Amino acid sequence: MVEVPDFDALYRSDPDPWQVGSSFYEQRKLGVVLACLTRSVYPLAWDPACGTGELAAGLAGRCDLVLATDASPEAVQLTATRCADLAVTVAPLRQPSAPRWPPGVAGPGRLALAVVAEFAYYLPAADRSQFWVLLDAIAAPEGEIAVVHWRHQPHDGFLSGADVNAEAVGWLTEAGWSAAVRHDDRDFVLDVLIRATT
């Protein structure tokens, strides 16, 4: 049986448990993610599991406003500190439970960009399905969704990153999205989807 980690305890014992701020692998991955986003500027982006805030800080250079949320209050605090001088709004929010809207996204069709990084494999299947539905609902008509995961299966996750990305692409393609970028790295996979144009 999968036991999802106690993320708060992890962040309390180490403020950067995955070395996101210090490892070359993580910094390079962030660079790849930013390079693969298809537009130069986005009005509004959402990082739904912001962790230590490195991605949110990177997105802030390309977005008028970044909404950074996480289920862990410890992560929210770390991101708030990391992004203190940036156009980043930080708040606690567990996916996919209510309230389903991230702060600042008051209704459907407003979100220009969502970047799902290294967390959907911690959601059980039913929650993942709800999460893909939510992303589709809140994304703008010209919206973009990037999904990036470690290719392998975390011992405390429900499935591998490769399978999470395949599921996201399959689900979103069915919902009318199309692949803009597919990046296959040795240890991570990245898919960028845009709404299919007719």
Please answer whether residues 182 and 190 qualify as being in contact, where contact means their C-beta atoms are separated by less than 8 angstroms. Answer: yes
Q: Which stretch binds ligand SAM (CB under 6 A): 103-111, 119-127, 173-181, 185-193?
A: 119-127
Shortest Cβ distance from residue 99 to ligand SAM (Å)?
Answer: 12
> Would you count residue 55 as binding ligand SAM (CB under 6 A)?
yes
Interface residue with ligand SAM among 32, 34, 36, 71 (CB under 6 A) is 71
Using CB under 6 A, count the residues that bind ligand SAM: 18
Quick one: which of 11, 29, 19, 3 has its CA closest to 184? 29
**Would you count residue 79 as binding ligand SAM (CB under 6 A)?**
no
CB of 33 to ligand SAM, least distance (A): 9
Contact 107, 160 (CB under 8 A): no
Q: Is 185 exposed, middle or buried (0-12, 13-18, 19+ CB in 10 A)?
A: middle
Say which amino acid occupies 12. R
**Which residue number places its CB atom closest to ligand SAM?**
51
The reply on whether position 94 binds ligand SAM by CB under 6 A is: yes
Q: Does 119 bind ligand SAM (CB under 6 A)?
A: yes
Structure token digits, residue 159 = 């499935």
